[in-house]
Chains A and B, each alone.
Chain A
Amino acid sequence: MTQKTKTTLLMTRRQALIAGSAAALAAPLYARSSFAQSNVINVGVIQPLSGANAQFGINSRNGIQLVADEINANGGIAALGGAQINLVISDATSNPTQAATVAQRMMSQDNVVAVLGAFASSLTLAISEVTERRRVPLLTMSFADQVTGRGFRNIFQVVSKASALGGATVTHTRDLARANGTEISRIAIMYEDTAYGTAQANGLRNSAAANGIEVVMDEAYPLGITDVSPLINQLRRTEAQVVFPVSYLNDSLLIIRNMRQQGITTPTVGGAAGYIIPDFRNGLGDLSENVLSISPAAYDQAPDYTDRFRDRFGYFMVHEAQEHAACMGVLASALEIAGEANPQAIREVLASTTFDQGWATVMSGGRIAFDETGLNIHAVPMMVQWRGDELVTVAPSEYAKAEAVWNA
């Protein structure tokens, strides 16, 4: 009896010793994870907050901030003991090299569980090189096909790919025109020569070919173009029935104004980005009326959610804010399911779950699930049209909130 007690005691001492030294060795790790679990979860946000794309970056940050604040106000992540979301926000500028540097710094200093960003495809591609290497999930709403086309395991694209968006632009436009008695056979494409513009123009081109539509003008132009008259002069010489410009804001204003100046009234179908933000309306006034555009998500599909954005920031929830909010919503759900603030655990949950709760439902398609490449299989491109100060979904028909106006 005595003997046995002694042995037990001895063993306990030895165990204690082992446990103690293990604890000492693991102390830094332990301290770090307990910090992450009991207090805050760091989520990286990399957006272009300065430079040419700053406005889009700020919209995106607002969307993420809104969701994070809502989660924190409702008691944080329950599965992690009410841990609060702490957004680590960094400026990617509008330059891919800088974006990669910022991502690198975030990985090594801030211990983030995931990264959300970075609006422009060229920035996202640069950041993804870093996050893939560090095995940290990157959730994005950038369109370019390469985003999920490179076999990366840690990237998740909540929107349709640019080629799909381009394809849907052509087919929806053809259907809208047909419904109004016009058969489209000749189109013009002009696009900015960035990752986004090139990929989307490719989609437009392929879809036109598949539908037997002739592309009578196909012109790329450099980012930051200041004079579009050569483009519009060229457009004037073609007999295009529809023009598809793919661009960010400044070029979109230039293109529309220059067309009107030259008396060209060809229907215009924009390629998202610059065509569906309040600044487009502010810059063009009545000229924006009835301009169509493709959009990877539309705020009128989920007014219960998007009105909260409008209430807080004073303008409608632009698509980049909405999609980034969906990214944040998905990440929060993934944290709840994973139950640990571990990037790889989160990655596994993201790759295997259908998200149909909360902010994940604001994406077109109403829910989000990623395929093996990381692409959201439920995303549906929407066609929206300007009506006064608002955008209205006009296609596909099952999502449409109003009849399209076709003024050819």
Chain B
Amino acid sequence: MQLLFTLLQTLLDGIMLGGVYAVLAVGLSLVFGVMHIVNFAHAEFMMIGMFIGWLCWHYLGLDPMLGAFVALVVTFFFGMLVQRFLIRPILGAPQVAQIFLTVGLLFALENAALMIMGAEFRSVTTPYQTQSVILFASGPERLLVGMDKLYAFLMALASGAAVWLFLNKTRFGTAMRATSQDPMAAKLMGVNTNLMYAVAFGLGVGVTAFGGSVVLPYITASPAIGTSFAVLMFTVVVLGGLGSVTGAIIGGIAVGLIQSFSALVLPIQLQNLALFAVFILTLALRPEGLVARRRS
């Protein structure tokens, strides 16, 4: 009985965690899918989202779940500017140049945050942080999910669905996918590819910033927080298959489950060992990712 509860609890924790990883990685996947650029600075936009969420909470009393929308909008426009002035000039450049630029951007953003926000850890206080829903209880055993995790998960799911709908059900989304598949053909069909790139980048970093704000109730914001998530995000997108929204979501949940289940059998320190073992196996056996990227 206890074992069953433990397994179910672990499953639940893994899914909750994975949902958030998914929304953080959707943006990265989108940027890669449309622009074919590996954005090493991507996790820094999560940090920006966290700070925007925190500022909204601190000065406007806005819950981080609502602050997330502010983070999305602000970061979207900021991302468009970054794309216009930094990313566009290196779109056709050698990969080394792209790596240098995005890694440089990573350091610049982290240190700018340090200058503007200082090194303090910024944490929000919300009533639901210490509440949980008990799904099922029997004797001393309980199956529960924290409200903060649940809210973050639902928000993540909603934003993932919104991005998917945008890409697949709108004219703009179709144009964006066309740009991703063949920029030249898209241009000939009258698609403004520069606009597509700018929107894809803005949306990509915006969604990640959104994810940053929704995790604020249980993760503390600081200028260096991006580093903790950067490798995780890349693992998620590579597991799921670079460039697909569904792939990022499946990859995210997979990473969450691997992390939580490995903690059952292995010391928690080796959590990421299990993750990277699966990661390497995936690269060796199924390099296109768990969900193959749609190519037409």
Contact = CB atoms under 8 A, between A and B. Distances in A.
A314 interface: no
B95 interface: no
Interface in A207-224: 219-222, 224
Interface in B1-60: 2, 6, 9-10, 13, 17
Interface string A257-301: 110111100000000000000010011110100000000000000
Which size class do A's interface residues fall under?
A: 35 or more
Contacts of A109: none
B268 A282 contact: no
B224 A253 contact: no
Given A219-B267, A227-B259, A230-B264, A287 B130 contact: yes
Interface stretch (B116-124, B185-193, B277-285): B116-124
Contact of A230 (B121, B132, B260): B260
Given A219-B268, A237-B6, A250-B121, A230 B220 contact: no
Contacts of A285: 125
Contact of A279 (B10, B17, B120, B219): B120
A283 B119 contact: no
Given A233-B9, A233-B10, A261-B132, A94 B123 contact: no
B269 A222 contact: yes
A400 interface: no
B38 to A, nearest CB: 23
B272 interface: yes
- Interface size class, chain B: 35 or more
A52 B220 CA distance: 11
B270 to A, nearest CB: 9
A282 B269 CA distance: 28
Interface string A236-267: 01000000000001100110011011110000
A21 B114 CA distance: 53
Contacts of A221: 268-269
A253 B220 contact: yes
A254 B114 CA distance: 22
Interface string B209-226: 000000000111011100
Contacts of A336: none
Contacts of A279: 120-121, 123
Interface stretch (A54-62, A97-105, A115-123, A344-352): A54-62
A221 to B, nearest CB: 5
A249 B121 CA distance: 8
A193 interface: yes
Interface string A36-63: 0000000000000111101101100000
B119 A237 contact: no
A266 to B, nearest CB: 15
Contacts, number: 106
Contacts of A54: 114, 119, 222-224
B170 interface: no
B269 A254 contact: no
Given A230-B264, A250-B220, A284-B125, A49 B119 contact: yes
B102 interface: no
B146 A261 contact: yes
Interface string B117-157: 01111010100011110000000000010111100000000
B159 interface: no
Contacts of A108: none
A343 B41 CA distance: 44
B29 to A, nearest CB: 20
Nearest to B119: A54
B167 to A, nearest CB: 28
B146 A222 contact: no
A220 B120 contact: no
Top 9 closest pairs, chain A to chain B, by CB: A54-B119, A230-B263, A283-B123, A260-B130, A250-B220, A261-B146, A224-B228, A221-B268, A261-B132
Interface of A: 49-52, 54-55, 57-58, 94, 193, 219-222, 224-227, 229-231, 233, 237, 249-250, 253-254, 257-258, 260-263, 279, 282-285, 287
Given A227-B260, A279-B123, 20 more contacts: A50-B224, A51-B224, A55-B119, A55-B222, A221-B268, A224-B228, A225-B268, A226-B219, A226-B229, A229-B260, A233-B6, A233-B10, A237-B2, A250-B219, A254-B220, A258-B146, A261-B129, A261-B131, A283-B123, A283-B220
5 contacts: A230-B264, A233-B10, A250-B220, A261-B144, A285-B125
